[in-house]
Structure 1
């Protein structure tokens, strides 16, 4: 299974999108959130990453060796709004069992560190 992550340093509502980083994991075990955390272990570019109070993360899971019409397993959009020391997380996805959960963060954390905290909390 391949898990691809893209972190955007804004809320994806504007005309231009600033990609903070991308990452990929080819692990098959664990939850989606653990595989997402693995994908952000060595993102590209290496940083530094922007600090933003709004950002969006996309997770795309595929079976790379399957037919094109059956290789997509799941797609998630995670919108994050940070206020004080809390990241408010809203997850939309292809799975009906997706839950949103607020996560405690430190003021000044960059978007990648906050995304990792979200994935650790959900894993």
Structure 2
């Protein structure tokens, strides 16, 4: 009987961990500037699912404020400690007409930075 209970609890834990996504929630970094981080298990889309959820939460934050979203930085990749993927979004919520509200140009960050001193 004890073995059956352990097996049931282990199975429940595996199912719970495989289907979840965790979010930091939107955190304010400064005036009009926010960040959100999300981890998504493989069953929730992994890296792509984390990216989608993070961008959705960011957009909802700005929409709730009656403002427009401007993504400053978007990074995602496989999780280092759990199965699945992670995404981090740094963004601003800006009013229509704000001089900083412009079409973003995204470039991947370099793998190596060389500095001459």
Fold shared, TM-score > 0.5 on shorter chain:
no
Structure with the higher fraction of residues in helix conformation: 2
Structure with the higher fraction of residues in strand conformation: 1
